[in-house]
Every structure is written in structure tokens, then in C-alpha cells.
Amino acid sequence: MTSGLWELVLQGVWVTIQLLFFSSLLATAVSFVVGIARTHRLWIVRFLAGFYTEVFRGTSALVMIFWVFFVLPPAFGWQLVPMWAGTLALGLTYGAYGSEIVRGALGAVDPAQKEGGIALSFTPWQRMKLILLPQAVPEMIPPFSNLLIELLKGTALVSIMGMGDLAFSANLVRLALQESAEIYTYVLLIYFVIAFLLTRVMRGLEKKLKAGVGKAPQKKTAAVPVPEGSGVS
């Protein structure tokens, strides 16, 4: 490929990375808010959180992108640029999946830990902040890593809006070269490299969060000299 076509592909990579970053931030925020709401003591909060989860898990991300980009403007009189439309659609959709990860991890914490917080007169927020989340978050990292990779692959859907992401740029290069094998081979490799790097980062984060969780620090004790003739051997 010529340098101009490579520049187009690199621009697409940058757009994909930006979209991945913004949509993953939104999805993470939604995951924790909705996931924690799923464990709330009030039934109405649990119902609303569960309703949101079922709606967004039961709809197609592709259709959601269409709806946000093409249906919202005439309905509400404002237009989102493709980047924010894609961020909103992907973040809300994948956040629904992430909320189940958060709910499951919180539910897996030993009930004795929760009871201990109640015995110490902690408020529900203090129990969540000081007891539940520190133990649950490390267990969320592996499934969140898988979800992040799925989100990376889902970013290709925004090309339907004419957004210049990696998939859209690859199609332009294909039309220019009249050749599919070369460009799409490169695109597969680029997606793989990004996914591999994300996986390594998430594994490092998991090890960091799990280090020392549930382990009491070891105390060093000085050896006590035994007087001679004490009978202690």
C-alpha cells in the first residue's frame, strides 16, 4: 500500500482507540452503578436496574447505534456527532453486560464479611466501600477483560454511521486497491495486537489488585537469646 493509504488506516486506528476508551469509561460507570443497584435493599431500585439490564442485553448493539444516531435527532431535536453516538450506544449496551459481572462478584463475597460490617455499625455505603468492593473488584477483572475485548470488536459497528474507524478506513482502502485480502489481513492483525495489549494490561491490573487481598502482613520477630544452662535446647 502507498503511504497515503497507510495514513488513512492509522487514522482509523486512532479513531477506534478513542471510541474504545470513551465507551469503556461509560460502560464501566454504568456497570458499577447498575450492578450495585441490583443488590440494593429497595425492590424498586432492583427492579429498575434489572429492567435496564434486560432491555439493553436483549437488543442488538447495531440496532442501538442506528436508534441513537438516526432516531433520537428527529425525536428530540438534537444531533449527536458519530463519536458520541457510538460511545453512548456501545457504553450503554456493554454496560448492561458489565452490571451482571459486578452483581455476581458482589454476591460472591463471603456473607460473614457483610455480617461483620453490620456488627461494626457500618452504613450500607461503608460496607460497600470498605468491605465488599475491595474483595469483589479483583474477581471482576477477568470477565471485564473479556468484555473489553468484545467491546473492541464491537467498535467496528460504528462504520455504518460513516465514522472513520479502522473498519471504515479498511473498506475505503479496499475500494481504492480493488483488493480485499491484503488490507483485511492487516486489519485482523491490528485488532489482534490491540486485543493482546489490552489483555496484558488487564492481567497486570488483576495481579496488582489481588496482591495482599485477604492476607495479613507478616511480622518479623527477633530471635530471643537463650541463656546457657537454662535447659532449653
Grid coordinates belonging to 211: 496482591
Which carries the bigger pLDDT value, residue 1 or residue 98?
Answer: 98
Mean pLDDT of 145-156: 94
Confidence of residue 215 (pLDDT cuts 50, 70, 90): very low
CB 148 within 8 A of CB 94: no
Residue 42 phi, psi dihedral angles, 5° rounding? -85, 130
Q: What H or E segment, with its residue span, contains residue 231?
A: none
Cα–Cα dist 143/27, whole Å: 13
Position 232 pLDDT exceeds 50 = no
pLDDT tens string 94-108? 999 999 999 999 988
pLDDT of residue 225: 46
Residue 220 phi, psi dihedral angles, 5° rounding? -85, 130
Position 216 pLDDT exceeds 80 = no
Position 156 pLDDT exceeds 90 = yes
* DSSP sequence for 7-29: HHHHHHHHHHHHHHHHHHHHHHH
CATH superfamily, region 23-210: MetI-like (1.10.3720.10)
Confidence of residue 116 (pLDDT cuts 50, 70, 90): confident
- Whole-model pTM? 0.84
Per-domain residue ranges of the chain: 23-210
* DSSP sequence for 173-195: HHHHHT-SHHHHHHHHHHHHHHH
Cα–Cα dist 147/76, whole Å: 31
Position 218 pLDDT exceeds 80 = no
In the chain, count H helices and then E strands. 10, 0
pLDDT tens string 47-93? 999 999 999 999 889 999 989 888 887 777 777 888 999 999 999 99
**Mean pLDDT of all residues in the chain?**
86
